Amino acid sequence: MPIAPQAYRPATALLDLGPTLWDPVAAADFPQTILRFRNDRAATGVGLDALTDAEWTQAFGRFAPLPGTLPQPLALRYHGHQFRQYNPDIGDGRGFTFAQMRDDSDRLMDLGTKGSGQTPYSRFGDGRLTLKGGVREILATEMLEALNVPTSRTLSLIETGEALTRGDEPSPTRSAVMVRLSHGHIRIGTFQRLAYLQDEEGMRAAVRYVLHNLYGEESDDPVRLLDHVVTRTATLAARYMAAGFVHGVLNSDNINVTGESFDYGPWRFAPTWDPAFTAAYFDHAGLYAFGRQPEAIHWDVMQLAASLRLIADSDPLVALIEQFGPRYQPRITDALLWRIGVLPRAPEEDRALVQTMERALRTTEAPMDHFFFDVFGGDLPADYAPEWDAFRAALAPYAPRKDRSDAYWQGAPCSMLIDEVEEIWAPIAATDDWSMLHAKVDAIRAMGEALA
């Protein structure tokens, strides 16, 4: 396998935890493996970009072990609150972690799957992923990466030749197996399971694993872990809001302790700044609506704090939980200033600008993608309605973070609303035409370069 030794640095850190957090499993034997998407930009960072298509398909469709890393796939064990209801009967039900390696920033990365077959946690599920679900995850991760949201990256999508029946899309539908590149797959639900089992030794080992491997600290201090998670998840919540993104299922088993977004199901981008906008058709109460995402993530982090009480005093944990809001506020300001392409000035002035912008976005129901495109660099066009005058005045003293010389600004805003997702999927479903998907990925990456 042509892997450059200077770029490919395999790891086996997950094995150090022992079977307290995982079960060895095997991948499904798929009827076909048809390569549909390979993310060489992501693969370059971990030394896997030199694989031929045949080698890529063998590694990410048949899961032949990669050199020097995990000898077999591991399905992770966890619990979690799902729509605020505790569920002890979950875990990796259609995925596993099958490799670890260091990236070009020296971060420990996992290669995890979706749709790779049944595991001990599949319950009544078939362990499979629809091809459309894989396409949607490509679009979500590419868009979020471009919009400065910490996210897993979709590394590979391979069609597997099985016909699947699903209640939420026309069936039978095509199947796929996806591989994501992620900075860890340890979730808040991982710690909830250990607390549920009163496993103090396992809890200390998990804390030590995360601090050492994911935060680069030689410590087993649970308070230190929570401190990191509060900061990272407050940042994630702020970046979601600035991106106009609605994850849809912010259950505690879907919150990574590195603050990296992952596991995309019924996600959507909000067309306007509507706090009540929801992504999941089954979120009848709007628990995970656009405007409630910071609250939802904060609630999940509270469950981590409650779990860590198994091995830590309550007072410092409570004090850190109370820091979520104060840490979120400057980060939402920074994220929105980044999105409109201006440099910060003074904290009070920056907060006032952002509050004025949010009010105008909400009251005018302006299309979010168009607004952020128009205002980038700090110059709101003259044809915006009088309701924008207060924002325009507040914006006047701000200097641009980056000019609009990039060719992207001579075109139209790149968006990812639900109708566009369906338009991209339609030719794939009808005639196996993938050109719209590849063109959209190119357009998203061009936007990311213009914003960066």
Using alpha carbons, list the distances in angstroms from residue 340 to 201, 265, 373, 385.
47, 28, 8, 18
415 close to 440: Cβ distance less than 8 angstroms: no
Q: Which of 393, 403, 414, 401 lies closest to 341, judged by CA?
A: 401
* Alpha carbon distance 30, 253 (integer Å): 28
243 close to 148: Cβ distance less than 8 angstroms: yes
Q: How many CA atoms lie within 13 A of 48 on its CB side?
A: 30
Q: Is residue 314 within a helix (H) or strand (E), and if so which, with residue range?
A: helix 314-321
Tokens 């006047």 belong to residue: 396
Using alpha carbons, list the distances in angstroms from residue 135 to 47, 152, 157, 424, 452.
24, 15, 8, 9, 25
292 close to 286: Cβ distance less than 8 angstroms: yes
Give Cα 76 to chain centroid, integer Å: 18
Three-class DSSP category at 131: helix
395 close to 380: Cβ distance less than 8 angstroms: yes
Sign of the Cα torsion 55, 441, 103, 158 reads negative
Active site residue ranges: 253
> Would you give the DSSP letter of residue 282?
T
Which amino acid appears at position 322 of this protein?
E
Sign of the Cα torsion 168, 169, 173, 178 reads negative
